[in-house]
Amino acid sequence: MARDTEKDENTTPAEKNMSDQDDDKIEVEIQNTKETAEESVTDNDIEHDEAVREPEPLSGEQKTEAMIFDLKEKLSVSEDKYLRLAAEFDNFRKRTARQYGDAIKTANQNIIVELLEVVDNFQRALQTESNNSDRESLLKGIELVYQNLNGILEKQGLEPIEAVGKEFDPNLHEAMMQTSSDDFPEGVVVQELTKGYMLNGKVIRYSRVAVSSGPPESNKE
């Protein structure tokens, strides 16, 4: 310390001023170096961030490959949906067919149960008539069975087609023959050969009929 003090005392003001300027210059250079380094680091970071945020554009081949991959993914999803729908529809078809078959069996069963009453009435009538020779009683028993049977069929939606005295209708009648008639004009049903029936409004058997051709030739004259 004594030597430094002695040195300072021997230093002239001009030399001291130059030394101070050199020190200031060194400090300025150090500060500039630090700022340059900081700016360099900051620029590098910015360039790195920009590189991360903005990837390089894909080439035409890469775009095509990406498109093909995307289409394959969509196709795979569509195929999976199709297979699921096909399986569900097949199950629905089988279930519907089974339910339809069960409904037919149940409907037939109900009709048969009701028809068994007709069979029972026929058996009673036969047993009664075997001990009774009265023809009138036999006819009465048959009539009761016939009425019972018609009642069962009507409950199922069966209804007879009116024919005699009606104008011939090809949607309801089937002409088997044509005959002259004084009672019915031409084109009107004269006789019902076989009764026709409708089930719930639909013809299931046409009435077979004879159609009038008008009065005989002799009457016309």
C-alpha dihedral sign at 124, 128, 130, 136: negative
Does this model's pTM top 0.75? My answer is: no
Is the pLDDT reported for residue 221 higher than 70?
no
Rounded to 5 degrees, φ, ψ at 158 are: -85, 135
* Mean pLDDT over each residue of the chain, to the nearest integer: 77
Given this model, what pLDDT does residue 132 score? 58
The residues, any chain, with a CB within 8 Å of residue 177's CB and separated by 6 or more, are 210, 211
Q: What whole-number distance in Å separates Cα of residue 50 and Cα of residue 41?
A: 14
Give the model confidence (pLDDT) of 135-173 as tens digits. Answer: 777 778 788 888 888 888 888 889 999 999 999 999 999
The mean per-residue pLDDT over the stretch 114-139 comes to 73
Query: For the chain, which domains are there?
Result: 77-156 (3.90.20.20), 158-221 (2.30.22.10)
Given this model, what pLDDT does residue 6 score? 45
Given this model, what pLDDT does residue 167 score? 94
Q: What are 13's two structure tokens?
A: 């003001």
Higher pLDDT, 134 or 102: 102
